[in-house]
Amino acid sequence: MANEIQVLQGIDTLAYVRLLENASKENGQLIPYQTSLSFDPQRDADSTATKSGNVATSSSLKTDFEVEFVNNISKVSDDLYESLFKNKKVEAWIVYRKRKKAGKYFAWYLRGTVTEDSSDNDPDDNATRDVKFTVDGEPQRGWLTLPDEAEEELAYVFRGLGKIDGEVKNDGTDGQGTKWTSDSRGVGSESDTSSVANTVNHS
């Protein structure tokens, strides 16, 4: 039986950016509050009629890359202005968080500059920005590992409501919690009297 084809959702496709000059200083940064991401590689094609038939020709690859987001106060949103006004190169990653292999995420890697950054500031809505990039050369595909802080930006881990003492573990047990597992399905009852039922620290 053939494997079921998995559908990728737009909400699970995210853009990360970094000024190229900062490659040795910081990780790529998630653009906060993204509302839209457009990635459009294209190659124009044409044909020339000859006495022996049509001869196809194609132009070089051109890639349009555009991100819309709710405007915010963050380093990465300021770096996008830096790229536009100072003509600085950026690195960008398009990460598909629901496509993984060996613990790594599928991603596109691009380099270029911001060429347009338009903002809408309606009085009855959040301010938004629409950033367009000029991409140099051919985007590259690969698999990447997200730093711990980037993983935490994508998803948070269950925790109990008790006070968290010591270092945060982010393994589901913080705050006297217990992580959900496959064995948790169909488990639990009103009459449960196990000793963990009332161990929340109220101090």
- Which pLDDT value is given to residue 127? 95
Half-sphere exposure of 68 (CA within 13 A, CB side): 11
Cβ neighbourhood burial of 58 (10 Å; 0-12, 13-18, 19+)? exposed
- Which pLDDT value is given to residue 203? 46
Mean pLDDT of the chain: 84
- Which pLDDT value is given to residue 201? 47
Give the range among 82-96, 152-166, 171-185 with minimum mean pLDDT. Answer: 152-166
Residue-wise pLDDT for 114-139, tens only, equals 999 999 999 989 999 999 999 999 99
Residue 158: closest CA among 168, 150, 166, 148: 168
pLDDT range class, residue 95, cuts 50, 70, 90? very high
The domain spans of the chain are 10-44+57-145, 156-188+197-203
Residue 176 CB contacts under 8 Å (≥ 6 apart), including other chains = 160, 162, 196, 199, 200, 201
Residue 59, Cβ neighbours under 10 Å: how many? 10
Residue 37 and residue 65: Cα distance in Å, rounded?
8
pLDDT of residue 185 exceeding 60, the answer is yes
- Average pLDDT score over residue span 86-100: 94
Q: Which residue has the higher pLDDT, 140 or 188?
A: 140
DSSP type of residue 137: S
In 45-147, which ranges are continuous DSSP H helix? 75-86
Tokens coding 144: 């990447």
Strand partners, 113: 134
Q: Which residue has the higher pLDDT, 193 or 4?
A: 4
Distance of CA 147 to the CA centre of its chain: 12
Residue 60 and residue 16: Cα distance in Å, rounded?
26
pLDDT of residue 202 exceeding 90, the answer is no
Residue 160 and residue 168: Cα distance in Å, rounded?
12
CATH topology of domain 10-44+57-145: Pnp Oxidase; Chain A (2.30.110)
Give the range among 1-10, 65-74, 90-99, 114-123 with minimum mean pLDDT. Answer: 1-10
- Average pLDDT score over residue span 148-154: 73
Residue 203 and residue 182: Cα distance in Å, rounded?
32
State the first-to-last Cα distance of the chain, in angstroms, to the nearest integer.
56
Tokens 């380099």 belong to 111
The answer to whether 199 and 173 are in contact (CB under 8 A) is no
- Average pLDDT score over residue span 186-199: 63
Residue-wise pLDDT for 162-172, tens only, equals 677 787 776 77
